[in-house]
Structure 1
Amino acid sequence: MTTPQPASGSSPASGASPVGEPSGPADDRSLTTVLRNVFTAENSWLVTLLAIVLSLVVGAVLIVLSNTATMDQASYFFASPGDFLSSAWDDISSAYGSLFRGAVFDPATVSGTPAQFFGPITNTLEYATPLIFGGLGVSIAFRAGMFNIGGQGQLIIGAIFTSYVAFSWTALPGVLHVAAAVLAGLVGGLLYGGVVGWLKARRGAHEVIVTIMLNYVAYLLLGGWLLNTSVFHDPKDAGQAISKPADPGAVLPHLFGSSLNTDFGLLLALVATFATAWFFKRSKLGFEVRAVGLTPSAARTAGINVRRVQIASMLISGAMMGMIGVTQTIGLSNPNNNSIAPNIDAGLGFTAITVALLGRTKPWGVVWAALLFGALQAGGALMQTQAQVSIEIITVIQALIVIFVAAPRLVKEIFRLRATRVEAGPPPPTPVSPDPFHAPSAGGQA
């Protein structure tokens, strides 16, 4: 009589876990596991859309509350509710109408010039361009099981590399000069991200702690030292820390003509999106990245070099973040005459995390999320000037979108949506110990 073997995938009788495998419930509380549950929550396009709608509703309430004149009417709401509701509706429609006109389309410009007609949407595209790069960078690192919150530092290093090439390599002809500046920023972010990957893979350092510290290093390197040196500091602006301006030949050219505010950075962002989608679906390294992100121990057992994949993922992620520095330095959205200042990051390194979350770490999902955030930023300026609503409301709406997307069950409960039904397959057969008293017959029946 032979002893039956345990079913495939079951743990040994002693309860000990295989080497490298999760050992118990404590692993479920790790940062990577929590973030994976957030990014891959049971979320559909409908839940995401409803999360955006819900955020706009909360934003409308905040718009009404921030208007003192409307709130004064609320004191006699029961005496004349129509006055308060009419005033509240005027506040909301004026604010969101200005937001739409500043981000997508202004009906008053139908008979105007092409610059007036297409201006709002091109502004949205310009704001969305760096967010596409950042969202892709965060997504690539996360697919490998790492959380890259060092976008601020990586884009600053990319901006430093880009700025130096843009103002010093003036002997290069125009096209080569632009290409060299773009490549320099990409390499700068790549190297700075690679430091994180190397420390993670070779020394076991946690990437969250390392990236936070390196953000400070890059920020102080730029604002505390480089912009005060004769190499970088612009002598024409002695009153503030700012770099020398980029050579006009190194600035990214307009994409749709000189009258529209969109440069070739958008085209580069779309190329990066195509490349990232192909990378995950078709390339061997992309498959290894996904395998390591799902289960490092199983990937290691299958012969994948986990350390190499982690370093490669952070190199690519850092390169994407470096491209934000490129767009912020030699792009058309630079307000400092294509120079860099200590605030060159503009919070984009952290906004990229929310874009990746909203896009669920999918390349084209990141593009749509970046377009939404770009529209909010582009329309927020007009909303502030025309409707007299603080642009901080836009930041609140963005935060609410992320909160509701990260909590799909809350959205489903609010809108009373059915839970997604998961079709379970047939249960695996349960091994049964052979009965020594009933031997099988010759025909195979017990």
Structure 2
Amino acid sequence: MSVPTGPLPNWVTYGLMPILNLVVAFLIAGLVVVFLGESPLLALKTMLIGALGSANGIGYTLYYATNFIFTGLSVAVAIHCGLFNIGSEGQAYVGGLGAALVAIGLGDHLPWFLTAPVAILAAALFGAAWAFLPAYLQAKRGSHVVITTIMFNFIGAAVMVYLLVNVLKVPGAMAPETKVFAEGGQLPKIGWLVQPLDPGLDAMSYAAPLNVSFFVALACCVAVWALIWRTRLGYEIRTTGLNPTAAAYAGISYVRMVVITMLISGGLAGMMALNPVMGASARLQVEFVGGAGFVGIAVALMGRNHPAGIVLAAILFGVLYQGGDYLSFDMPLITRDMIVLIQGLVILFAGALEYMFRPALAAVFARRPEAAAVKA
């Protein structure tokens, strides 16, 4: 007997299945915690307290989430065109170079609100430029974008290390990093957004690096939503992703769509650098991306490539990052490696096994034709 694979209501596809995958991931992680001799319920409670139980915790959670929103959007835009951009990590890295050059060049002369727009544009342009060649090779030469973007991650990392060690490093300093940006080259913190949630915390005790790039990320969510679902270009991108042959028959240039989409995707990834480079550390450092480009893949998949879903998935991974740090400190038996395992399980079930429950759910709704016809 064939397995039912019919259409499901949107609330099942975009809501129930991600929740089921997340629950299974945490159940398996809970079994590992039990094996280590700790209480999974206490571990979960500790993680949530660390991530959401204070203004500092929430600030750090939203700081991490900001990175993942940018990279999640980057991956999602490419997927809508049928492309799998694995290069957000490298594009964000190179985008940091653009932001840093602007911060160094203008930070001493202009206030942050004049430097920031230029830095945003520079980060996006540098990230887009790093995505251009893989896009061209895919569109014109048939070189698979997955392979080329992965390779460009390594090339970008090597180029950035060379620049930080030999060109941009402060003379006489040991650390491979640029000088600390002047105040005009830094993005201001927005602790006021979360401090009211913890009235006992004064400004001196607030340490989270949450900054105005969080609002930039949210603005990008709105812009991506409008682009993909409310513009002709977005329609052409989605058409190309669904059926390149039909799109070409309708007069949509495959080469043009691939190049434009990858430029947008690379630009979004490049803007991720604003958060750690100009917001948190106020300087360009080695490995500042910290794997956020790869986490963006899971964020996009879990968020079903929709900006609203990406924001929720990014916050979830922000909770895992911040709560995981707190958990490993409070419960020493659960090491940082264990937190990486939990994150990996979420990525596994949200990515590779995201449709694991679909046949069973399709079978249930196949017996309820009226439910299968519901349009969320």
Aligned to 2:305: 361
Aligned to 1:393: 338
Number of aligned positions between the proteins: 343
Aligned to 1:407: 353
Deviates more, 1:287-296 or 1:45-54: 45-54
CA–CA separation in structure 2 for the residues paired with 1:171 and 1:416: 60
Match of 1:64 among 34, 39, 45: 34
Question: Comparing both structures, which one devotes a greater share of its residues to helix?
Answer: 2
How many percent of aligned residue pairs carry the same amino acid? Answer: 31
- Structure number with greater CO (CA < 8 Å, separation at least 6) is 2
Per-residue CA distance 1:143-199 (angstroms, 9 max, x = gap): 111110011210111011111221232223332122222221111101111222222
Unaligned runs of 5+ residues in structure 2 are 1-9, 193-202, 371-376
CA–CA separation in structure 2 for the residues paired with 1:374 and 1:241: 27
CA–CA separation in structure 1 for the residues paired with 2:361 and 2:264: 41
What displacement does 1:134 show? 0.4
- Residues 1:348 and 2:292 are matched in the alignment: yes
RMSD: 2.3
| 1:236/1:417 CA distance change after superposition, 3 Å | farther
CA–CA separation in structure 2 for the residues paired with 1:279 and 1:377: 30
Aligned to 2:16: 46
What displacement does 1:283 show? 0.5
CA–CA separation in structure 2 for the residues paired with 1:363 and 1:412: 23
Question: SS in structure 1 opposite 2:273?
Answer: helix
CA–CA separation in structure 1 for the residues paired with 2:314 and 2:150: 23
Aligned 8 A contact 1:188 1:319 in 2: yes
Q: TM-score, normalised by structure 2?
A: 0.85
CA–CA separation in structure 2 for the residues paired with 1:409 and 1:197: 29
Amino acid at match of 1:287: Y
Question: SS in structure 1 opposite 2:190?
Answer: coil
Match of 2:171 among 206, 226, 235: 235
What displacement does 1:410 show? 3.8
Aligned to 1:98: 46
Match of 1:153 among 81, 90, 108: 90
CA–CA separation in structure 1 for the residues paired with 2:171 and 2:354: 53
Match of 1:304 among 241, 252, 258: 252
| 1:412/1:301 CA distance change after superposition, 3 Å | closer
Question: SS in structure 2 opposite 1:344?
Answer: coil
| 1:233/1:176 CA distance change after superposition, 3 Å | same
Aligned 8 A contact 1:233 1:243 in 2: yes
Aligned to 1:11: none
- Residues 1:249 and 2:184 are matched in the alignment: yes
CA–CA separation in structure 1 for the residues paired with 2:14 and 2:243: 24
Aligned 8 A contact 1:153 1:219 in 2: yes
| 1:344/1:260 CA distance change after superposition, 3 Å | closer
Amino acid at match of 2:33: I
CA–CA separation in structure 2 for the residues paired with 1:410 and 1:298: 30
CA–CA separation in structure 1 for the residues paired with 2:224 and 2:255: 21
| 1:410/1:288 CA distance change after superposition, 3 Å | closer
What displacement does 1:423 show? 5.6
Per-residue CA distance 1:256-309 (angstroms, 9 max, x = gap): 436463211111111100111111111010000000000011001111112111
Per-residue CA distance 1:103-157 (angstroms, 9 max, x = gap): 112xxxxxxxxxxx42222221111001001000001011111110011210111
Larger Rg over CA atoms: 1
Per-residue CA distance 1:315-344 (angstroms, 9 max, x = gap): 000001001122121122x3xxx2222212
